[in-house]
Amino acid sequence: MKRFFCVICVLAALSGCAATGTHPDDPYEGFNRAMFSFNEGLDTVVKPVAEGYETLTPLPIRVVIGNFFGNIGDVWISVNNFLQGKVEAGFSDIGRVLVNSTFGFCGIFDFASEMGLEKHSEDFGQTLGVWGVESGPYFFWPIIGPRTARDTFGWGVDFAVDPVRRIRHDNATRNTLIGVRTIEGRARLLQAEKVLDSASFDKYNTIRNMYLNGRAAAIKDED
Amino acid sequence: MMKSLCLELLLPFFMLFPSVPAFADDLLVFAEEAPDALVKRVTDEVLEIVRQDKDIQSGNTKKILELVEAKVFPHFDFAHMTALAVGRDWSRATPDQKKRLADEFHILLVRTYSNALTAYRDQSIRYRALKRAPEDTEVLVRTEILQPGSKPITLNYSLEKHDDGWKVFDVAVAGVSLVGNYRDAFSTEVRANGIDGLLKMLVDKNKQLEASQK
């Protein structure tokens, strides 16, 4: 995976020589569109698996799977809330992890939400944004998709601290968890994608707009 | 005669109650529904229908389109929305072009909105308090879609005051404006092929969506 990250860095450096974009928010549009096509190609394999998962798995089971990974994610969300100075939200996230890990049977039930401890969505890119780091140019990366320069670095930190990836003694469990999480995440996007397809004239363009505006809103907690 | 006598007798009673002016206020509000009340009423009505209609839940496109057209879109101002989506080039369009653009954009948004509505699965809506001065003619009504296990998603409506009530001119989901979403695509097309090119692009898109949603 480290090698993969290096390849991305080299690609980015190379594409830097040939700024092709006409859109002010998208100086590397040529590179980005090429990577977008690459990901759309990958998605012809991933999407059917996600659709199969959605058709074959009953909704309650999908909710349980989503909650399980959501509970693991809440730990890092809590840290980011503290880093952003949102102490109350940080404690609320800790409360969520404690309640859901115990009463929620290892996180498969989200009792904390029922108790009024709402789920948040934070990552290190948002934390950097709150600290005043500029977003930098927009990129569309292979596999991970849209990220600004700041959010690419943020993603690297999120990736490095990912608890699932740190399971070292049992490769089979780790890879299964990563696989299921990926498919579950892709399945979540299926419905939104239908709306996006009907709403957009140029999918690449629409995703860029939604990403840049959505991230700006998320940093101000207006999403 | 009898009627006026009754009134004369009863009037002092009414005047005793301080709630009478409040009652008059209610009547006034009813005559001109507040923007947040409008959003709540329409949302509640539509979601109640969706919850009870098995056809809509299973994705009956025709029924959903009819519901959106009958209940939701009478409260939308499509000329305003189209003007915002087209941006600076809007002033270059003739009145006839403007009308046709708004009509096509209307059709496109019905499709988009209907697609979004089929995704509805019993989530509840939270209405945030409206910050508004009485003289404001534009307001932002903020709501949130709540779903256990996920962060609430904000769904904000921008409304403008008209003679016949408040009208929505933009909707923002998770901080992303629906109208703003089209601005890039529209201005690129107008620059390349003019207003008529944009009109053709909308007509083609609507035909394509109609064919795929049958």
By mean pLDDT, which of A109-113, A155-159, B2-6, B81-85 is the weakest? B2-6
Q: What is the pLDDT of residue A205?
A: 92
Q: What is the pLDDT of residue B107?
A: 94
Say what the alpha-carbon torsion angle A142, A146, A149, A153 is, to the nearest 10 degrees: -70
Nearest alpha carbon to residue A188 among A36, A93, A50: A50
Q: What is the pLDDT of residue A184?
A: 94
Q: Which residue of B has its CA nearest to A67?
A: B149
Secondary structure element (H or E) that encloses residue B137, with its range = none
Interface test with A, best of B57, B81, B110, B112 (most A CBs within 10 A): B112
Residue A48 has which token pair? Answer: 């059917």
| Per-residue pLDDT tens over the stretch B163-197 | 989 999 999 999 999 999 899 889 989 999 999 99
Based on the number of CB atoms within 10 Å of its own CB, is A208 exposed (0-12), middle (13-18) or buried (19 or more)?
buried
Please calculate the CA angle B48-B50-B51 and round it to the nearest 5 degrees.
Answer: 65
Q: What is the pLDDT of residue A6?
A: 53
Nearest alpha carbon to residue A22 among B150, B1, B48, B192: B192
Q: Are B182 and A201 in contact (CB < 8 Å)? A: yes
Q: What is the pLDDT of residue B20?
A: 45
CB B94 within 8 A of CB A173: no
Beta pairing, strands B138-146 & A138-141 = unpaired
Say what the alpha-carbon torsion angle B185, B188, B189, B193 is, to the nearest 10 degrees: 180
Spans of chain A, pLDDT less than 50: 1, 17
Q: Are A66 and B149 in contact (CB < 8 Å)? A: yes
Q: Is A70 on the interface with B (CB under 8 A)?
A: yes
Q: What is the pLDDT of residue A177?
A: 96
Instruction: Mark which residues 102-161 of B lie under 8 Å from A by CB.
Output: 108, 111-112, 115-116, 118-119, 148-154
| Per-residue pLDDT tens over the stretch B19-57 | 444 444 444 444 578 999 999 999 999 999 999 988 888
User: Considering the entire predicted model, what is its pTM?
Assistant: 0.84
Q: What is the pLDDT of residue A180?
A: 96
Q: Are B153 and A223 in contact (CB < 8 Å)? A: yes
Q: What is the pLDDT of residue B142?
A: 95
Q: What is the pLDDT of residue B61?
A: 85
Tell me the nearest-neighbour CA distance from A2 into chain B, angstroms: 31
Q: Is the pLDDT of residue B8 over 90?
A: no
Partners of residue A113 in chain B, C-beta under 8 Å: 148-149
Q: What is the pLDDT of residue B83?
A: 96
Q: Is the pLDDT of residue B13 over 50?
A: no
Q: What is the pLDDT of residue A19?
A: 52
Residue type, B75: H
Q: Are A217 and B175 in contact (CB < 8 Å)? A: yes
Mean pLDDT of chain A: 90
